[in-house]
Structure 1
């Protein structure tokens, strides 16, 4: 268990099962999760991996079968009344009055939770909606509607903000808007926990991540560290005689495969300088050596053997070899 005060969220042995068609389904199976304070933490995995169920347990909406949950150093659900005002969350689609302006909708919400009225204009500015504050909600784009929902969670100035699949259904512009909003919240000192199955999107904004599949943690850490590990010793290699180069490199125990345009993709080398030396010793000289840039999907694939959508990568014929996601590809965990 990390020292007190260093995590915004910590779970140990968290487990939740459901009955489905007469069978017991494990939604979350012994999850150990640590979300450090400050920054954006991505909670990543395919649909059906247990992300939403976990978030509902963090918020006291679902009671775990076993295990412990601590949010802002307090046990949940026992101390939920103490922390609820310090946590903001969007778990489902936001509900607002279509004919009312963004400002009016937030003013009603602020009145309901006892937030001073001046706070409304502040949060509208924080999410970049000040210039559309008086427009009816029905005229907002999907991205703007999501940002208004985020503004609603900020009315009580929470320390921890939780988003469950916040970019679902958004176009690229909306995704960019929400991503910028999450980053600005983290830069302002808040902790942002965002669950998603779109790893490439979260990679652009997250400082740290936890990757789960089938309700269990498979890895966690700083994004930069995970990417560095995944891309270590992998590179695109170009030489005049790729067939001979492939033999030389494979003889060293490294994985070699065609990379198009006569180049090779080499992985497993402890140091790319070793690739250069091995080829030079065989009288082969490089015309291209480009280190691979890993992404979180590659990390996920290496750890689980599936993509975040729950399928295996394309086989030799370029066809997807389907494999169902955990728990029958439910839309949400």
Structure 2
């Protein structure tokens, strides 16, 4: 039944029999037959059928919740037995908000030194996508904001506080300042993250609280694109301090934004499931060590 449940999860994710079969590595008739057998075993219809996929039935939605739990537990069991036989090995999938990407190496590097047979995938995601990846079993862990918007059913480990800097070129307005206000930031031509990013919603909130209308002359979901525009000397941006350090050069300055000086917590989030897989349990332990080194204000 586990294989059939995995097929069902894949179908629910793609909402298309052909694409789901392709990901699962089987033919479409094989996948369709597996879903039909699952329906017969459970005694309910799971999929609204027509000439194409039309969604899940109410019973299918409920079975999907159970399928994710059962498949997640089965994967945990397999990984635990593999770790017992061979030591910790496998692949960790981490979804991270763009502003936390600069910090991921501080987790993965010491982790790999302790567990050299583990490999990683790190994907840039919005905060909503991070939670969806965990829920859909497409990621093992996430790095996201933990104090600003609802997180749902996850285990959370705060790591550090994100503080904001004005990133601007030398010889531009405010470049000689030790700090700037949010109201002053709003007077500059800003390139900022796109609106679906929680970082952008946070920046908009602080600009609004400063009594100015949030606006951007360029938007991107890539921090590289933002920094490349700032390097021209014609734009400015707002970034967390740690991320800004990656892009700083002799031609850029990072100036603390005060009035008010604000911060938001970033943390590791993993599915709320006990026991965790050996890989996730080890990652949580590594995160605890990192959290002890980083100030959370």
TM-score normalised by length of structure 2: 0.27
Comparing both structures, which one devotes a greater share of its residues to strand?
Answer: 1
Comparing both structures, which one devotes a greater share of its residues to helix?
Answer: 2
TM-score normalised by length of structure 1: 0.25
